Amino acid sequence: MTNSNRSSFPWTLLILAILVVAVSGAAWYLAVSLRNQVSNTLSPLQQTNNAISTQIASLLHPTPTVIPDPVTIIREVQSLARLETIQYTVEKVITAEVNQGLFGPLFGDRLLFVAHGTVIAGIDMDKIETSDLWLEEDVLKVRLPSAEIFSASLNNEQSYVYDRDTGMFTKGNPQLETEARRAAEQEILKAAQLDGILEQAQMNAEVYLERLFNSLGYLKVEFVD
């Protein structure tokens, strides 16, 4: 009997080991299957949540869409022969306000607008006639048209509202900034004119054209009124 027990003992251990491995493998397979099922169940929910979050973000921070009209109408084509001889860069601070009386703290509106603009001046060469150039001996006589302002405009990228103060019972006048910009253009033009932009433009035109005429062989040039 001793020999019989010794020969069957290893087989019993082997069977037990196989059973343990089988049970462990089944448990592992079941755990993996459950995890995959949970993951597959949660994935659509996560995708839905992400989609909803994206839609909410789009509503809170919309991206503007600019759609130009495909129809273009050209009103006028005109040839230009302008000689731009000077450009002024001007900065002005404009104060625009409404209802600044006794009830200003309640219904008033006031803003400070910092305006950056440019003023360009020169002479219009198209206004020069053949009779405006003549020779007297070896001197070229030239009669130039008066200098004029070609443009006075704001630089919208550099112009901005520095401060705005509205009353307790008003949201502000929507036209106030527009009026400030319009006044700024006029003030920028006025500042350039007071600083002598037209006189400087005339002088620069004469210097430029004298060099041009010299290069053409007219060594003596005189500008007359």
Q: Which residue has the higher pLDDT, 192 or 98?
A: 192
Q: What is the pLDDT of residue 1?
A: 42
Is the model's pTM score more than 0.85?
A: no
For the segment 45-68, the average pLDDT, to the nearest whole number, is 62
Q: Which residues pair with 135 in a beta bridge?
A: 140
**Overall residue count recorded for the chain in this entry:** 225
Rounded CA separation 129/131 (Å): 5
Is the dihedral angle over the CA atoms 134, 136, 138, 139 positive or is it negative?
negative
Phi, psi of 171 (to 5 degrees): -95, 0
Tell me, what's the pLDDT at 148?
Answer: 96
Gyration radius of the chain's alpha carbons: 43
Helix (H) or strand (E) holding 89: strand 82-98
The residue with greater pLDDT, 141 or 39, is 141
| Residue 20 CB-density burial (10 A; 0-12 exposed, 13-18 middle, 19+ buried) | exposed
At 146-162, the pLDDT tens digits run 999 999 999 989 999 98
Q: pLDDT category, 173, cuts 50, 70, 90? A: confident
Q: Tell me the CA end-to-end span of the chain in Å, nearest whole number.
A: 145
Closest CA to 175 of 163, 167, 183: 183
Which percentage of the chain shows pLDDT scores above 70? 63
Q: Given a cut of 80, is residue 182 above it in pLDDT?
A: yes
pLDDT tens sequence across 22-44: 555 555 555 556 565 545 554 55
Percent above pLDDT 90 for the chain = 45
Tens of pLDDT, residues 78-126: 666 899 999 999 999 998 887 676 655 666 788 899 999 999 999 999 9
pLDDT at 2: 43
**158 Cβ neighbours under 8 A, 6+ residues apart:** 116
